[in-house]
Amino acid sequence: MFKTGTKIVLSSLVAAGALASIPAHAGKTVDAIKARGQVVCGVNTGLAGFSQADSAGNWTGLDADVCKAVAAATLGDATKVKWVPLNAQQRFAALQSGEIDVLSRNTTFSLTRDASLGLHITTPTYYDGQGFMVTTKSKIKDAKQLKGQTVCVQSGTTTEKNLTDFSKANGLNIKPVVFEKVEAATGAYFSGRCVAYTTDASGLASVRNKEAKNPDEHVILPQLISKEPLGPMVRRGDDEWFAIVKWVVYGLLEAEEYGVTQANVDQMKSSTDPVVQRLLGSTEDTGKLLGLDKEWMARAIKAVGNYGEIFEKNVGPKSALKLPRGANNLWNKGGLMYAYPIR
C-alpha cells in the first residue's frame, strides 16, 4: 500500500512539474489585440508627467510608457497603442465594457475597487499620497490650518472620500467644493473660489507646473493624508492578460535593479548574469509561459527604458515636475519598488 501511495504521490508531482512547463496560450484579450493590431489603453485626459498628448497627438508620461511597454512586449511595437483619454467618472466603465484593454490612468488601488468592480489590480507603478496645494499668500503651512476652509476636489475619486475622512477625524469642518471634471476643480482653485485644492501629491505638482500662471505662488503642503498606490488595471476573466501586464511592470523594475537600460539592452544580451539572461531571453524562454516570444521584455525595455529611466524622464528631479524618487525607489535603495523575480 505504501509503495502504491508513493507512486501516486510521485506521479502527481511529475504531472504538476510537466504542467508548469507547458507554454501558455495568450488568452482572449491578446487574441483581440493581435487581431486589431493595437493595445487600447485608457489614460488621463491630460496629466503632465503621467499621460499627456502634445499638439501632434504623441502621448508621453509614466502611465503612457507602461502602455507602450506592454504594446512592445505583446505586439513587438511600442507605437501600436490606441489612446483613449478618460475622466475619473468614465475610466472604470470603459474597462468593464471592453472599450479599453488596460487602464493606466493614475488610479488608486483599494479594496472596494479590487473586490466590487469586476476588475483586477495589477501592481503599483507609483506610490503616492493625497496632499493639499495652497497659495503662498494664504500663509497656510499645515493641513490642519484648513479648519473651516473651502477645498476644491474632484468627484468620483478616492480624493473626495479621503478629504471627508481627514476633516472628520481631525474635527476640521472642511467645506468641500466638488466638481465632476478636474479642469473645473483646478480652475476654481486658481480663480480663488477655494482656499486649497486637493489630489494626489504627484497630481498637485503636475497641475502647479501646467496650469499656474506663476508656480512659485503656490505651495504643496508637506503632509500626506492617505496612501495612494497607483497602477494599471485590467478586467477580470482573462488571467493571461492580467499576467502579461503585471509581469511587464516587474520586468521594468528588474531591469533597473540589474542595470539593463534602454541604451545597453542589446549589449546586455551577452551578459553572464543568469538573471539578466532570463530577463532578456538569452537563455530561458520566459515569454512562452505568457504566450509571448522570448524577447518580450527586451523589446519593452528598448522601447521605454527601465523603471528608473521612465521615472526620471517623466516625473523625476530633472523633469518639469521635479518629484523626488522617495517611496518609488527600488527596495534595495530605501524604496517600496520590489519586482517579483522573473524566473
Q: How far apart are CA 246 and CA 43, in angstroms?
A: 17
pLDDT in tens, 129-181: 999 999 999 999 999 999 999 999 999 889 999 999 999 999 999 999 999 99
Of the pLDDT bands very low, low, confident and very high (cuts 50, 70, 90), residue 299 is very high
Question: What are the strands of the beta sheet with 233-235, ordered from one edge?
Answer: 81-86, 39-44, 102-103, 233-235, 119-121
pLDDT tens track for 268-289: 999 999 999 999 999 999 999 9
Q: Among the listed ranges 21-25, 91-95, 101-105, 249-253, which one has the minimum average pLDDT value?
A: 21-25
pLDDT at 8 over 50: no
Query: Cell numbers 533597473 correspond to what residue?
Result: 256
More confident residue, 195 or 24: 195
Place of cell 476654481: 188
- Which amino acid is it at 197? Y
What CA–CA distance (Å, rounded) separates 32 from 36?
6
Backbone torsions φ then ψ of 94, nearest 5 degrees? -65, -35
Mean pLDDT of the chain: 93
Query: For residue 63, what pLDDT is reported?
Result: 98
Q: Where are the domains of the chain?
A: 28-127+230-333, 130-226
| CATH no. for 28-127+230-333 | 3.40.190.10
Helix extents (H) in the chain: 2-20, 28-36, 62-75, 91-96, 111-116, 158-169, 182-190, 201-211, 239-257, 265-268, 274-280, 296-304, 307-314
Model confidence at 246, in pLDDT bands (50, 70, 90)? very high
> Does 29 have pLDDT greater than 70?
yes
Domain 130-226 in the same topology as domain 28-127+230-333: yes
Amino acid at 126: Y
pLDDT at 303 over 90: yes
Residue 185 reports pLDDT greater than 60: yes
CATH fold of 130-226: D-Maltodextrin-Binding Protein; domain 2 (3.40.190)
For position 311, what pLDDT does the model report? 98
